[in-house]
């Protein structure tokens, strides 16, 4: 048995132990569905190659605006991340990517790695969208409001749309609560 075949077996066992939703469209390639709260679903590829396990998860398309601020926001997170980091494809779309040795594949390590992908995608998503897609969010909010459509999944962007009440909103990180 080759090292990538052994790694595929170890991955299969780890994913089964974890009880996560996944597909195996090709030998050694696993597409795992990670449900989030801000980024509702992150699809992560785990691919056992001849020398390493590759992980790749689409994060979001290239930003519409504020490119430098958007990419800087994500790059500033890279230094403290475990197992994966933000990276760009040739058109500027953003992914979480990483590699680890095949010998490190275990249920605990796969759990840790998938947890990191989910956490990094979910924890940064709303702020990244506010930076890179502000105009689109405002247009979508206005369109939905005019048509009487649900605004539920735009609540996180209340600071941009004006839907957030200054009195009801908790202070953002780094801000001091206002004195009444």
The chain-wide mean pLDDT, for the chain, equals 90
pTM for this predicted structure: 0.85
Cα separations in angstroms, 94 against 71, 123, 139, 143: 9, 15, 23, 27
| Residue range 17-29: mean pLDDT, rounded | 94
pLDDT reading at 179 higher than 60: no
| Residue range 85-109: mean pLDDT, rounded | 96
Q: Which residues contact 23 (CB under 8 A, 6 or more apart)?
A: 30, 31
List the Cα angle 30/36/39 in 5-degree steps: 100
CA distance 167 to 92: 38
CA distance 95 to 61: 9
What DSSP state is assigned to residue 37?
A: S
Q: Residue 115's pLDDT band (boundaries 50, 70, 90)?
A: very high
Check residue 142 and give left, alpha or beta (phi > 0: left; psi -120 to 50: alpha): alpha
- pLDDT above 70 covers a percentage of the chain that reads 91
CA distance 52 to 3: 9
Beta strands in the chain (DSSP E): 21-26, 29-35, 41-48, 52-60, 85-88, 94-101
| Out of 48-57, 58-67, 148-157, 166-175, least confident range | 166-175
Nearest to 117 by CA among 102, 101, 96: 96
Pick the CATH number of 3-132 from 1.10.260.40, 3.30.1460.10, 3.90.930.12, 3.40.50.300: 3.30.1460.10
Q: How far is CA 141 from the centre of its chain?
A: 23
pLDDT reading at 113 higher than 80: yes
Q: What is the residue extent of each domain of the chain?
A: 3-132, 134-164
Q: Residue 164's pLDDT band (boundaries 50, 70, 90)?
A: low
| Out of 11-15, 93-97, 162-166, least confident range | 162-166
Q: Residue 151's pLDDT band (boundaries 50, 70, 90)?
A: confident
pLDDT reading at 27 higher than 80: yes
pLDDT reading at 11 higher than 90: yes
List the Cα angle 77/15/95 in 5-degree steps: 30
List the Cα angle 35/38/40 in 5-degree steps: 35
pLDDT reading at 109 higher than 60: yes
């Amino acid at each position: 048995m080759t090292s990538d075949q052994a790694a595929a077996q170890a991955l299969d066992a780890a994913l089964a132990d974890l009880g996560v939703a996944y597909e195996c469209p090709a030998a050694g390639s696993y597409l795992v569905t990670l449900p989030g709260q801000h980024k509702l679903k992150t699809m992560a590829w785990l691919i056992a190659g001849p020398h390493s396990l590759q992980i790749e998860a689409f994060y979001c398309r290239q930003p519409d605006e504020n490119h430098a601020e958007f990419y800087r926001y994500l790059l500033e997170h890279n230094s403290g991340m475990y197992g994966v980091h933000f990276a760009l494809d040739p058109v500027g779309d953003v992914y979480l990517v990483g590699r680890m040795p095949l010998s490190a594949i275990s249920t605990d390590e796969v759990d840790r790695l998938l947890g990191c992908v989910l956490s990094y995608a979910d924890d940064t998503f709303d702020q990244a969208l506010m930076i890179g897609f502000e105009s689109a969010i405002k247009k979508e909010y206005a369109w939905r409001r005019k048509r009487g459509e649900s605004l539920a999944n735009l609540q996180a962007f209340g600071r941009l749309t004006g839907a957030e009440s200054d009195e009801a909103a908790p202070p953002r990180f780094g801000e001091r609560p206002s004195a009444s």
